[in-house]
Each structure stands twice: as structure tokens, then as C-alpha cells.
């Protein structure tokens, strides 16, 4: 498994890259990383050297290319035989995949209004009405998952899962923009921010 290479964007900005990177860390799979600096004149050309879609992240496994953050997370989950990365219960697993897909394809206002800048602080931020609706939906997901499935641990489905990887960039966003949290949200964010992988990403993003 030592021929895994993950091509990612600048850690300060690339929320899409954080998800599979954290998944690989949590799966304890060794990998190398190639970082492409975003927002530079040569960024598009550098990405094109690695990615058929013209986007990152991309996982290289020998001659295989896997692109799109959710697809990479699914592939990592298949590789990580020693660490189950989706809930074992079928119903919980279905909900975990549903909220992961919702996070992957939705929340456009959140992405546009609260761009990820890991490790940076924006104390005077006020979200738009559309972004606030996205924030409240995410918080509702967290409450529901924690209430129904979280009794066995500190994460959305108890023990850590790929659903947590999908929400990892939101954790940094909520922290940076000082988004108020209820008790459930505060506890979940603390559990996520305590992960060694999250701490490493934040340090390296600075």
C-alpha cells in the first residue's frame, strides 16, 4: 500500500482536499502527498498534469487514478480492511452516506460565503440569510446523527466514519468564522479538532 499518492491543493484553502487526506490519516494508510499551490497563474496547468477532470484532489494508486473527494473516500474505505470507515449497521450506514452526499453536493451559499481558510480568524463575520440557512441545516444534521447514532463515541455515528471526513472542512469554517454552536455542536467540533490529523492540517495550512 506504499504507492498511494494524494494530489491536493493548498491546505489553507482546499476544503475538497482535506476530506480524503483526513480519511487516509484515519485509515492509517501510508501515502505521499503532492501539493499544488492554488490561486496562482500556473495552477490550472499544474493540476492538468495530474487530473483528467482538471480538478483536485486526485488519488494515484499505481496506474489507477481516482478523482473527486467522495469517490476517493469510498476507495480508501475499501482499502482500509483493518479500519471500518463506515458505520457497520446498515441503516446507520445509509444515513451516513446520505448526509455525506448532501454535504458533497449542497450548501452552495455556505461554500461561497464562508470559504475555508484553515487556522485564520474572522471575528466580525455575519452570514447572509442563505448561508445561515445552510449553517442551520448542517447543525440539524449533526444533532440528528448524534442523537440517533452517536451513543458509542464522540462523532456523528459514534466512532469516527467517512461522514466525519465529509464535514471536516465545515469544522474549520465554523471555527474560523466563529459560528455559534449549541452543546451538541460544540462537543462535536471539539472531538474533531482534537484529532491528530486535523491538528496537523491546521499547522501545515499556516
- Please check whether residue 126 lies inside any domain of the structure: yes
Q: What is the mean pLDDT of the chain?
A: 95
Give the orientation angle of helix 183-193 with respect to helix 196-205, to 10 degrees.
80
The answer to whether residues 95 and 149 belong to one domain is yes
The answer to whether residues 168 and 150 belong to one domain is yes
What are the counts of helices (DSSP H) followed by strands (DSSP E) for the chain? 9, 4
Model pTM score? 0.94
- Please check whether residue 56 lies inside any domain of the structure: yes
Distance CA 6, CA 69 (A): 11
CB within 8 Å of 103: residues ≥ 6 apart: 138, 166, 167, 170
Last residue of a domain, one of 83, 113, 141: 83
Q: Is the pLDDT of residue 1 over 60?
A: no
Q: Is the pLDDT of residue 81 over 80?
A: no
What pLDDT, in 10s, does the model give residues 145-154?
Answer: 999 999 999 9
Q: Is the pLDDT of residue 31 over 80?
A: yes
Last residue of a domain, one of 57, 83, 109: 83
Quickly state the pLDDT bin for 82 (edges 50, 70, 90): low
Q: How many domains does the chain have?
A: 2
What is the chain's percent helix, strand, coil content, to nearest 5? 55, 10, 35
Q: Is the pLDDT of residue 83 over 90?
A: no
Distance CA 175, CA 128 (A): 17
Last residue of a domain, one of 50, 83, 116: 83
Range of the domain at 62: 4-83
The answer to whether residues 61 and 40 belong to one domain is yes
Amino acid at each position: 500500500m506504499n504507492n498511494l499518492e494524494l494530489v491536493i491543493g493548498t491546505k489553507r484553502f482546499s476544503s475538497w482536499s482535506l476530506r480524503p487526506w483526513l480519511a487516509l490519516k484515519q485509515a492509517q494508510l501510508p501515502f505521499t502527498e503532492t501539493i499544488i499551490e492554488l490561486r496562482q497563474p500556473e495552477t490550472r496547468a499544474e493540476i492538468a498534469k495530474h487530473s483528467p477532470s482538471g480538478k483536485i484532489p486526485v488519488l494515484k494508486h499505481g496506474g489507477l487514478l481516482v478523482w473527486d473527494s467522495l469517490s476517493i473516500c469510498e476507495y480508501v474505505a475499501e482499502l482500509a480492511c483493518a479500519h471500518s470507515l463506515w458505520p457497520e449497521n446498515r441503516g446507520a450506514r445509509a444515513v451516513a452516506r446520505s448526509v455525506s452526499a448532501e454535504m458533497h453536493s449542497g450548501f452552495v451559499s455556505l461554500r461561497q460565503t464562508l470559504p475555508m481558510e484553515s487556522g485564520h480568524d474572522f471575528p466580525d463575520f455575519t452570514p447572509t440569510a442563505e448561508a445561515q440557512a445552510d449553517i442551520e441545516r448542517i447543525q440539524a444534521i449533526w444533532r440528528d446523527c448524534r442523537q440517533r447514532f452517536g451513543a458509542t463515541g464522540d462523532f456523528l455515528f459514534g466512532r469516527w466514519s467517512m461522514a466525519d471526513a465529509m464535514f471536516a472542512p465545515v469544522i474549520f469554517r465554523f471555527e474560523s468564522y466563529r459560528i455559534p454552536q449549541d452543546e451538541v455542536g460544540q462537543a462535536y467540533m471539539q472531538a474533531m479538532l482534537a484529532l491528530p490529523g486535523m491538528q496537523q492540517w491546521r499547522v501545515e495550512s499556516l
